[in-house]
Structure 1
Amino acid sequence: MSSLRLDVVTIFPEYLSPLDLSLIGKARRDGLLDLHVHDLRDFTHDRHRTVDDSPYGGGAGMVMKPGPWAEALEHVVAQGSAGGAEGDGDGDGAAAADSAAAGARVPTLIVPGPGGEPFTQQIARELADEAWLAFACGRYEGIDERVYEWAGERMPVRVLSLGDYVLNGGEVAVLAMVEAVARLLPGVIGNAESLVEESHEDGLLEYPVYTKPAEWDGRAVPDVLLGGNHRAIAEWRHEQRLQRTAERRPDLLPPTAVSTVLADLEERVATPADAPDLQILTRACWAPEFARYGMFSAGEEDLETVRTGIQEWDTRVWRRDGQLLASVRVRPHPTQESTWQIGRLMVAPYLQGRGLGRELLSYAESLAPDDVRTLWLNTGAKSTENLRLYKKAGYRVRPGEGEFPGTVDLTKRRSAASLPA
């Protein structure tokens, strides 16, 4: 069984010591992983072992110098191509150039950084199929950009990001990536079946898991898991994965899953009996706006105000199993002739970001009578997500302040093609 070679270049070699622990450490001892850690400072030529300097153009921080990185990566390529033990580095540059010229194998270079493509389970699987990976751990303000160009002429280079945040260096990211990749190698995980239903393996999050005792602190394990009906258990787990993904990571849901949710919704005209649920949905949708922009007070509307709104507007609600998931209201504008007013377009927070708002907007537009020529709506002046949705749908912001303080009005001319036949 061939092993995966990993080379890591860093100014803090001791940072990688956790890779000696747990299953990854065992994989190294079993010969499944061939890990080599290189100190970037070994490739400097001054008594202070300097790896950084001030940035051209000014600015805060320091930038990692290209020279040490080029020598370190040449050393990695030469040692890995030769397949030997770590040497003293003499002649590495020539060996690396000869290897590249001869078409010899080279590593895929991974550079962790917040400006890279998101590191996902799919990418982990792609990297697990590689024979050789090298990691460059940047520090300070980053690595001189010319190193990426230089390395790209000699080996594949991928800049990968753990997420939308900044770390002090690449070492933490390397620890995470190496573990994510290495555990996919045959023989690293004892029970390979445990990899199949994990979070992100098929785009969904993992279902909740339980162990003994069957009841703890007044909380019972779901009955379906105790009955021994494997088909029922599989169906329950799949439903739990869909539900958990919708609640926590709706961006991961495939379009087919969203369409299924929409098809199951019951749509009807709201009545005063819907007021309590509409009040809750309004608060849930307004709370983020209030927190971000201080514009709307999530608790400013009492039930009587909500009931009045139901009477003054044609309000539509969408429910599933009795739960209110979405709503929008429309009416002829009270002061502007031939204008259709659209308001309170709301989607339950855990379903947002999946295109439901755009569908509701189209539906609200379709309810306009034949004589309507202008579509009108209002949103917060700083509500970037709403503004993006409305502008993409063809609405334009009108000059000046909107109908309410801190808001803007948007309008769209109703085209002849959109009128009922």
Structure 2
Amino acid sequence: MASPPPPPLPWVSPSVPPHVVALADDLSGAAETACALGGPVRLSLDAADVAEIAATHDLVVDLDTRHLESAEAAYAVRTALRAAQAGPPRLLYKKVDSQLRGHLAAEAAVYAEEAEAVVIAPALPAARRTVTGGVVHVNGVPLHRTDGWRAERASAPRSLPEALSCLPVRTVPLDVVRSDPAELDAEFRRIAASGAHPAPDAETDADLDAVAAAALRLGPGFRLLGSGGLAAALGRALVRPAAASPPAPAQDGTPLLFVVGTAEPGAVAQIAHLTALGAHHVSLDPTDLAAGTVRPPRGAAAPALTVLSIDGSAGPRPGMGRTLSTALGALAAAHPGRADLVLTGGETARTTLDALGITELEPLGEIHHGAVHSRTLDGRRVVTRPGSYGAEDSLLRIAVALRPRLAASTAAI
């Protein structure tokens, strides 16, 4: 039997729901959010686009704040919020990392200004990242006991209240999230009335659906802050026209360039699947890369498949991420031929597109969770994927999706 329709959202018109303005702190997260919202969406790398007042679509903007100092990141969010609020009514969404990396506290504090409350839900069930008892878990293990912060300068927070110590945060147990909608609404109101912000537990997409629906029922004073999982719940709650269908894969011999900027250990095995296909792999020494002594090849024709990666055998280098990703992006931009791109890691994706002068993407869909297939204004294909996402065959699956002729070659891998 079909589920009954959800109750109407009092301030959201069923016929013309307001468009969403989502603010992300890195490009792979912005692309994930744009895809999660589900309808026609513009994905911009230019923060000034938030001021666009004639929007006829959802807008996701990468504020690119991960590499900034905390105060600079907060200023970027405040500026974008003011621009968004100067135009017609639009739903606000703040995309944050499901492992709580970045300037979470500083950006959340600014996002909470003038809000009745911020509903904080970073769970991402599709990537097995859940929240119970106010603690983020990765594959069932508390975040602070994982190596998810290996490349960060600080230690992972033990809970959401600790991660957001600048804000009064009250956790909402799972049984309340799964209770009658009126009870969940009342709990959110009680927390807001006390001057605090609700942080509901969530283990499934259905939990996030309940959280998003409650925030929408309570009106624009309740702002949503979460990962791509909550963005997808928001997309399911809002009726949108279908997004554009992806065009047919390229058949013209256009080279395919993988730029792997992540420090995740699993990247080694992912790259191995590509080299087994015959991909040309260039592993770059991070010291040489940071020093600017690596030079792109001159005059050579680009191989059909190329992988640029950073040699991580010496372990992560905290604090060096932006320097390395900028140098890697510059090398990618200088790669011979006009290659389609697969970019892993938000900073790597951003610096590569910056080096190429690309300021806007049209999201077309997901190849697998988090691997977002987009198109540039001039027709180049770009796939972005967070560095921590994807199984061992992630890059292989992306390669086959973009170049179906490779499928026959994968049987022996």
Per the TM superposition, whether the score is higher than 0.5 is no
Instruction: Please indicate the TM-score interval, normalised by the length of the shorter structure.
Output: under 0.3
**TM-score, with length taken from structure 2:** 0.22
**TM-score, with length taken from structure 1:** 0.21
Higher RCO (C-alpha under 8 Å, 6+ residues apart):
2
